[in-house]
């Protein structure tokens, strides 16, 4: 069940994370809430963990609509933390539980700062990385091959979203 959802969400983020900004915020909220609940509430039911993810998705979606600048920073924090933890899971699966907090905090800090200082570029790059990571996490191959596929997918997402941004910006300038 989660595989189809992760694949669909990954494709949406990869191809149109910037154009669907509130969806990007909701996805970052869902993944952060779901991952946090998975680690913090390990003994709880799967429906409880899914509910936690959905609550945070709703918060992310509302923030993306009502407070877009603030939502970008929060989504950058969430996405950065999620990306860092998922990369740790893929490339160093035998890590100490103490390491996860440090890796998550470092990823969140980098993601949040990137959103503050380079908003459009950051949304395109982070949504492409997040979408690519969701897709790659479903492919059962060697971690090095996953890295290559992730880089290729991220490049594809960067190219597609960047191309759309250029054409969209030129249209906006023409009609001002």
Q: What is the pLDDT of residue 3?
A: 82
Q: What is the pLDDT of residue 153?
A: 94
Q: What is the pLDDT of residue 155?
A: 93
- What's the pTM? 0.82
Q: What is the pLDDT of residue 168?
A: 46
Q: Which residues contact 133 (CB under 8 A, 6 or more apart)?
A: 10, 83, 86, 87, 150
Could you state, in chain order, the average pLDDT of each consecutive group of 10 residues for the chain (176 residues)?
82 85 88 87 88 92 89 90 86 80 90 87 89 90 90 92 62 40
Q: Are 5 and 54 in contact (CB under 8 A)?
A: no
Domain positions in the chain:
2-174
Q: What is the pLDDT of residue 93?
A: 78
Residue 69 half-sphere exposure, CB side, CA atoms within 13 Å? Answer: 2
């Amino acid at each position: 069940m989660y595989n189809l959802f992760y694949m669909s969400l990954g494709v949406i983020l990869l191809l149109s994370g910037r154009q669907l900004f509130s969806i990007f915020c909701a996805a970052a909220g869902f993944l952060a809430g779901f991952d946090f609940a998975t680690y913090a509430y390990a003994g709880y039911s799967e429906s409880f963990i899914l509910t936690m993810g959905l609550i945070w998705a709703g918060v992310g979606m509302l923030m993306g609509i009502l407070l877009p600048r603030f939502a970008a920073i929060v989504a950058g924090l969430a996405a950065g933390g999620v990306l860092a933890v998922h990369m740790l899971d893929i490339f160093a699966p035998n890590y100490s539980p103490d390491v996860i907090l440090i890796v998550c905090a470092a990823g969140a800090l980098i993601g949040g700062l990137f959103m503050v200082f380079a908003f459009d570029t950051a949304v395109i790059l982070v949504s492409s990385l997040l979408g690519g990571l969701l897709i790659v996490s479903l492919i059962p191959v060697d971690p090095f091959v996953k890295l290559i596929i992730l880089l290729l997918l991220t490049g594809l997402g960067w190219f597609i979203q960047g191309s759309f941004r250029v054409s969209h910006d030129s249209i906006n300038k023409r009609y001002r």
